[in-house]
Amino acid sequence: MTTAHLKLHQKGIVILDFGSQYNQLIARRIRETGVYSEILPYNTPIQKILEKKPSGIILSGGPSSVYAADAHLISPEIFEVGIPVLGICYGMQLITHLLQGKVAKGKIGEYGKAIFFKDTDHMLLDRVPHQSQVWMSHFDEVTKLPEGFVTLGHTDTCIAAIANDSRQIYATQFHPEVSHTTYGKQILTNFVKNICKTQSNWDLYNYIDQTVYNIKKTVGSQKVILGLSGGVDSSVAAMLIHKAIGDRLTCIFVDTGLLRKDEAQKVMKTYGEHFQINIKHIDASKQFLSALKGVTDPEKKRKIIGRLFIEIFDKQAALIKDAVFLAQGTIYPDIIESQSAKGGPSATIKSHHNVGGLPEKMHLKLLEPLKELFKDEVRKIGLELGIPHHMIMRHPFPGPGLAIRILGEVTPEKVKILQKADAIFIEELYKNNLYDKVSQAFVVLLPVKSVGVMGDERTYEYTAVIRSANTTDFMTAVWSRLPYDFLDKVASRIINEVKGINRVAYDISSKPPATIEWE
Ligand code: XMP
């Protein structure tokens, strides 16, 4: 590691993860202030935390109660190492508990928006007005402050912010990382800049240079293989590695035949022709379609596709005899999700079907240049590297592809029908400036035929469903409120232009209880 590279990671903020669903948001908000941040499991040994040389530590929220038998507790030693600490929600209760204050069950709990009243001016609340909206999600509350602490603010039901300046310990009962806390970003900035005195050290432009340098150093004169899917992560990883080692990177692009219309050509044109990346385009559509013949169960489809993908990828990779590294587009959320709040950090390989099993069998070393980045950071880097905006801002596409959007048996005829209908929907979204306003949009083909009439002829054809979802995390989603006139245009174009479809429906289910995909 170079000295310059170290600079990107030192003096950052360490977030100890007690299991809150908002933890990734804390890390992102801190990075938005220009400061590196990293999430570690709550039970990371203090020595390990200190090795990171953090300039501040955040104790996150979490679902447990400090009094529960299985509560996530830590040693109060954390308050003795001379690093400022900010507790959020459970983090505030934990500070109180560990320092001999009192936490008790609230009378009613507090969930959602609340009004925060600032009781006193303080550097943590710099530029926060006397009244502002905050986001709460707690049942327990602090009822007695530990010695040496003062209350900085309250809501109608609880003590909402506390501080002990001489020990540099601070806490909020509300979640500053959530956008519904109007001055949340200001409070996190105050902690990072005013209290931890951190200089900006997280800069994506530097990240590109540093990463390219590191890849060169790690790979030396050896060769790298990468499974390119055309998605954002694998494409940006390919571009970074290509920038570092040029033709010593070989990408393998397995075309399952279950991709969007003209997808393979687009990927080859953008990354192969335009950026001159060395890509092996493997057209395996016949193999996939014949393996899926007669299969209707969604999970079986996924398994068959996953297995075949690995088989084909492995075979192609083995042909590149002297490859030493397998590159993956693993990103930071993949790593965070694989390290549980209870277990230690286990930066395991992304369990994505197109790479599973390969490194062990082939003794390849892993190269994961994006593993410290959030998705929006990967996108920024992609744009900076010159990848066209429309390739970078694409909606996610599932590994099993159209096979799980053709309900029931997948046939070559149905794939063609769906590709055409889907392409019309996506084209209209772009034309009407709606593509970037929805998170994921596609067409689903049902195995249901219904009667229609075209000209003087009776038709008996398939039904297509338009699906469009809005979401931030894909865990929950609402259906997109697309304009009626737009839906009308898409439906009539699909029915008129795609032979095989005579009826179009619009999916108005949210997740949960529905899922975004239909299978
Ligand atoms: P659901 O349908 O579970 O989808 O609401 C959430 C997100 O996950 C994607 N998805 C998949 N991605 N392999 C993938 O790589 C799969 O088997 C798979 N199933 C769903 C889906 O497209 C959405 O973005």
In the 3-class helix/strand/coil scheme, how is 497-516 assigned residue by residue? HCCCEEEEEECCCCECCCCC
CA distance 426 to 428: 5
Three-state DSSP class for 459? strand
Q: Is the pLDDT of residue 3 over 60?
A: no
Q: Is the pLDDT of residue 5 over 60?
A: no
Q: Is the pLDDT of residue 501 over 50?
A: yes
Residue nearest (by alpha carbon) to ligand 1 atom 4: 516
Residue nearest (by alpha carbon) to ligand 1 atom 19: 398
- Mean of the per-residue pLDDT values for the chain? 92
Residue 360's pLDDT band (boundaries 50, 70, 90)?
low
Q: 302 near 405, Cβ under 8 Å? A: no
Residue nearest (by alpha carbon) to ligand 1 atom 10: 398
Residue 108's pLDDT band (boundaries 50, 70, 90)?
confident
Cβ of 19 closer than 6 Å to ligand 1, yes or no, is no
- Centroid of ligand 1 to alpha carbon of 499 (angstroms): 28
Count Cα atoms within 13 angstroms, Cβ side, for 137.
18
**CB neighbours of 165 closer than 8 A, spacing ≥ 6?**
none
- Between 7 and 512, name the one with better pLDDT: 512
Category of 89 on φ-ψ map: left (φ > 0), alpha (ψ -120 to 50) or beta = left
Q: Which of 328, 337, 516, 518 to mutate to test the pocket of ligand 1 (most atoms within 8 A of CB)?
A: 516
Residue 349's pLDDT band (boundaries 50, 70, 90)?
very low
Closest ligand 1 atom number to CA of residue 517: 2
Residue 205's pLDDT is what?
83
Q: Which residue in the list 38, 110, 141, 177 is annotated as catalytic?
A: 177
Closest ligand 1 atom number to CA of residue 396: 24
Whether 32 is a known active-site residue: answer no
Segments of 296-392 assigned E as strands: 323-327, 365-367
Whether 395 is a known active-site residue: answer no
Cβ of 440 closer than 6 Å to ligand 1, yes or no, is yes
Give the tokens for residue 132. 């502002």
pLDDT tens digits, 29-74: 999 999 999 999 999 999 999 999 999 999 999 988 999 998 999 9
Residue 106's pLDDT band (boundaries 50, 70, 90)?
confident
Q: Which residue in the list 38, 89, 242, 263 is annotated as catalytic?
A: 89
- Centroid of ligand 1 to alpha carbon of 404 (angstroms): 9
Segments of 47-158 assigned E as strands: 56-59, 85-88, 102-118, 131-144, 150-154
**CB neighbours of 391 closer than 8 A, spacing ≥ 6?**
232, 235, 266, 270, 382
Helix axes 204-219, 232-245, angle to 10 degrees: 60
CA distance 284 to 292: 13
Whether 251 is a known active-site residue: answer no
Element (H or E) spanning 247, and its range? none
**What is the pTM for the complete model shown?**
0.84
- 108-147 b/e (C-beta count within 10 Å ≥ 16 → b): eebeeebebebbeebebbeebeeebebbbbbebbbeebbe
Cβ of 400 closer than 6 Å to ligand 1, yes or no, is yes
Q: Is the pLDDT of residue 348 over 80?
A: no
Q: Which of 394, 439, 465, 474 to mutate to test the pocket of ligand 1 (most atoms within 8 A of CB)?
A: 474
- Centroid of ligand 1 to alpha carbon of 487 (angstroms): 24
Cβ of 302 closer than 6 Å to ligand 1, yes or no, is yes
